[in-house]
Amino acid sequence: MDKKDYQMLNDYNLTMLTDFYEITMANGYFNSCNRDAEACFDVFFRRVPDGGGFAIMAGLEQIIAYMKRLSFREEDLEYLRSKDSFSEEFLDYLKNFKFECDVWSVPEGWPIFPYEPVMIVKGPLIQAQFVETFILMQFNHQSLIATKSSRIVRAAQGRPVMEFGTRRAQGADAAVYGARASYIAGCAGTACTIADRNHFVPALGTMAHSWIQSFDSEYEAFRTYTELYPQNATLLIDTYNVLKSGLPNAIKVFKELKPEKMGIRIDSGDITYLTRECRKVLDAEGLQDCKIVISNSLDEYIIRDVILEGAQIDSFGVGERLITARSEPVFGGVYKLSGIGKGDELVPKMKISENIEKITNPGFKKVVRFFSKDSGKALADVIMLHDEPVPDGKPYEIFDPNAVWKRKVLENYEAKELLVKIFDRGKLVYREPGIEEIRETCRTQVDTLWGEMLRFENPQIYYVDLSKPLWNLKHDLLNKYSSGNM
């Protein structure tokens, strides 16, 4: 049985994993004039976690799997009937439910920015409304972990980062999908075995302190492990004393058994001091090929600082602060109605708020990213109405919608639509890439961002602007709503 067979065995129907009000609204739509209405919803987020310059799109694979399996089973219908809140006619509709929406999405691994639609769902109002909860759950979680992992991987400056957070994750799915998201963003692998079996994320690991403690001596523990795993013997040397016992015993075993690959791991203490001392001793003993691995409550700031201090580290194991995105554990993705069907027409809709950041962009839209033909770097994203032509290389003027006097003319560019068709009236039309392809997409697309955007503090703000037709539509609706003509 191969990995795909295991994954299929572990797939299960998650139709009822939804907010209850999605079902009460569906029943309300069904039993009102909105039964046959068409609608358009946008998925977007308002702020990059940790004050970063960009986020990483992730979670689409699981959203696709959910939409492909959307169906209501008899036990689901019996549960809903027991609530005494839903009409029998509506329950009959659910019994024969078939997903028939159009869906567009930014592919996984691409850098994404606040306020631009990263996914659009367009179709029957009942259905487009219903999928909100699951979309946001997967998008928010995996994009959060991928974004955090990207920061940590960049801090490591090319040194491998292993995701070690399974035991600190907030539940089984958080561990598995967090491992997947971390690998997309550049981590070398995971400690989570099932993430390897089901999602092709390489499983990595060494030993726990209990392994060493279970033997009569540290030397015996190291020797036994190296005899068992000569292809990759990484020994945990801080159970008792790093420099007085752990390192000397590891060196003794390495010299006796000469494993194919050898390494030491330190999980406590002063990282900079201990790694520098270990490197000096290892080199003096002729073990220049021995790698030094560090773990213990690491994040991008600690990694950056110890490297600046001259720590001698070959790779990192990062756990709780990655898998929980501890510094800012919420990714604020939202799902907002942008249009409602009236006959053959989609009437633009927008949410108004006293909080400016909560005012939405109306209409059926697309997102275009401009790349410099000279440098290959991303220049700006422009949110356009769906029927606007994609710029063809002629000078294109963009402006900050919140400061219209700030104008910029783009020249010598290549324009690319970011939103790709995923479902056409409920039929999957997207070729789903494997995780290695997604990972490579993430690497190459992050490389298109200017270095100033990669800073952890005060990154350069990337242009995300509205096209002039969309800006005009938004302000026409603002004027209409402000006058009370809603």
> What's the pLDDT band for 343 if we cut at 50, 70, 90?
confident
Q: Phi/psi at 404 (nearest 5 deg)?
A: -65, -10
Domains of the chain: residue spans and CATH: 3-145+329-482 (3.20.140.10), 156-323 (3.20.20.70)
Residue 421, phi-psi category: left (phi > 0), alpha (psi -120 to 50), beta (remainder): beta
Say how far apart CA 204 and CA 163 lie, in whole Å: 9
| CA dihedral sign, ordered 158, 454, 456, 326 | negative
Nearest to 57 by CA among 133, 120, 134, 140: 140
Residue 102, phi-psi category: left (phi > 0), alpha (psi -120 to 50), beta (remainder): beta
Q: What is the pLDDT of residues 407-441, one digit of tens each?
A: 789 999 999 999 999 999 999 999 999 999 999 99
Q: What is the pLDDT of residues 48-72, one digit of tens each?
A: 999 999 999 999 999 999 999 999 9
> What's the pLDDT band for 344 if we cut at 50, 70, 90?
confident
Q: What is the pLDDT of residues 91-138, one digit of tens each?
A: 999 999 999 999 999 999 999 999 999 999 999 999 999 999 999 999
Contact 449, 111 (CB under 8 A): yes
pLDDT for the residue 121: 98
pLDDT for the residue 225: 98
- 3-state helix, strand and coil shares in percent for the chain, rounded to the nearest 5: 40, 20, 40
> What's the pLDDT band for 201 if we cut at 50, 70, 90?
very high
Read off the pLDDT of each residue in 201-206 and give the average, rounded to a whole number: 94
Average pLDDT, the chain: 94
Contact 55, 143 (CB under 8 A): yes
Output the six-digit token pair for 219. 């030397």
Element spanning 62, H or E: helix 60-68
Kindly tell me if the per-residue pLDDT of 168 is higher than 70: yes
Kindly tell me if the per-residue pLDDT of 5 is higher than 80: no
SS3 of 340, please?
strand
Q: What is the pLDDT of residues 242-257, one digit of tens each?
A: 999 999 999 999 999 9
pLDDT for the residue 481: 82
CA dihedral 11, 326, 334, 357 (to 10 degrees): -170
Q: What percent of the chain has a predicted confidence (pLDDT) above 70?
A: 95
pLDDT for the residue 445: 98
> What's the pLDDT band for 9 if we cut at 50, 70, 90?
very low
Q: Which residues of 111-142 are buried (b: 16+ CB within 10 A; e: fewer)?
A: bbbbbbbbbbbbbbbbbbbbbbbbbbbbbbbb
CA angle 228, 286, 309 (to 5 degrees): 95
Say how far apart CA 417 and CA 363 lie, in whole Å: 17
Contact 313, 305 (CB under 8 A): no
Kindly tell me if the per-residue pLDDT of 306 is higher than 60: yes
Kindly tell me if the per-residue pLDDT of 36 is higher than 70: yes
| CA dihedral sign, ordered 188, 189, 190, 195 | positive
Read off the pLDDT of each residue in 455-464 and give the average, rounded to a whole number: 95
> What's the pLDDT band for 486 if we cut at 50, 70, 90?
low
pLDDT for the residue 259: 98
